[in-house]
Structure 1
Amino acid sequence: METTSNREGIFDGAWWPRSRDIASQLPRLIDALVARLGPIARIGLDASAWDDAPGHLVIGGRTVRIDWSAVDDSTMIVTRGDQDHFAFLVIPPQASAAAARAAMAMAVQDGNCTPAEQILMGGGIIPASHHRVDADMEAAPMVSPSEPALPGRHT
């Protein structure tokens, strides 16, 4: 995890979890954030990027609330206090190491104003939400469209 030296860009840091299992991936990140930023009150995540969506996790003896959204924006919001928020780019687990490193480096450049999807796709990384849609389409049964009605004919 890296955080920017100032808070003028879109992202304050970046995170590359290695799976879509939030319970196995989030504790190490929270431990690193607490060591660097102090106590974390809540985390905001994109529900489409994860297999489960628990309302909270107990990490290091503290309960961390997880707020879920369906914005598909490859970001995470870390809240330390009422008015103290940090935005992180979330790299999908399937990204290659080289692409993940390049995306994280770009996200944490001082003054970077490039949106998450542009950072990811610019590095050849398909955002997690796109993988979820592809998987859902593969699992959906094939349905043949009905024959269109001819003009002037009622079916």
Structure 2
Amino acid sequence: MADSRTPPPPDAGRLPSAVHHAVKPGTALLRLETTQARDHVLDGAWWPRSRDPAAELPALVSALTAHIGPITRVGLDAAGWDELPVRLVIDDRVVHIDSFAVGDDTVLVTRGDRDHFSLLVVPPYADPDAARAAIAQALRADNITGAEQILVDTGTGHSA
């Protein structure tokens, strides 16, 4: 059993080196599980380049669709984004955009009727090292920390 006072290894909380350096604005990373029950706080992370959903969502939805199947809805907090459309046509499919007071640090993605994924949203202006640390924390299988606290803990915060 490890001593809780033992400092974590130097790479704790970091993505593998090759991935860590490749992560930049416009990146979406997911932790996909093979079980039906996903009881983690977050299923992945997304680092958009801007707060323009019409510019950012097509790439996210296309990437998700390629890995988990067709996305039917995306939930965003309208307060954290520029003009939120009601729907977008992405890859010849209509994706409904819902406004939820989930916080601008979270995006909810729906596959089918009721299969929801919750992703941490790293602010576009985030410092790259802080953003990578936030993404790594969100992807940890043992993560129990919510999106807002992850951003606070890693210094990515809410100031533009």
Cα distance in 1 for residues equivalent to 2:30 and 2:52: 23
Structure 1 unmatched ranges of 5 or more: 132-155
Q: Do residues 56 (structure 1) and 56 (structure 2) align?
A: no
Cα distance in 1 for residues equivalent to 2:108 and 2:64: 12
Q: Do residues 31 (structure 1) and 62 (structure 2) align?
A: yes
Identify the match of residue 120 of structure 1 among 151, 155, 160.
151
Query: What whole-Å deviation, never above 9, does each CA across 1:57-103 have from its counterpart, x for those lacking one?
Result: 11111110000123425111110022211110011111011111110
**Compared with structure 1, are the counterparts of its residues 93 and 110 closer, same or farther at alpha carbon in structure 2 (3 Å cutoff)?**
same
Indicate the SS of the match to 2:71.
coil
User: Partner amino acid for 2:116?
Assistant: H
User: Partner amino acid for 1:107?
Assistant: A
Cα distance in 2 for residues equivalent to 1:73 and 1:2: 18
User: Partner amino acid for 2:137?
Assistant: M
Aligned residues of 2:79 and 2:104 also touching (Cα < 8 A):
no
Identity among equivalent pairs (%): 53
| Counterpart for residue 137 of structure 2 | 106
Task: Tell me the TM-score normalized by structure 1.
Answer: 0.78
Greater CA drift, 5-14 or 39-48: 5-14
- What is the RMSD of the two structures over their aligned residues, measured on CA atoms? 1.4
| Counterpart for residue 39 of structure 2 | 8
Q: Which has the larger radius of gyration?
A: 1
Aligned residues of 1:14 and 1:91 also touching (Cα < 8 A):
yes
| Counterpart for residue 142 of structure 1 | none
Q: Do residues 86 (structure 1) and 113 (structure 2) align?
A: no
Cα distance in 2 for residues equivalent to 1:8 and 1:111: 10
Task: Tell me the TM-score normalized by structure 2.
Answer: 0.75
Aligned residues of 2:81 and 2:104 also touching (Cα < 8 A):
no
| Counterpart for residue 67 of structure 1 | 98
Task: Give the count of matched residue pairs.
Answer: 129
Cα distance in 2 for residues equivalent to 1:83 and 1:22: 22
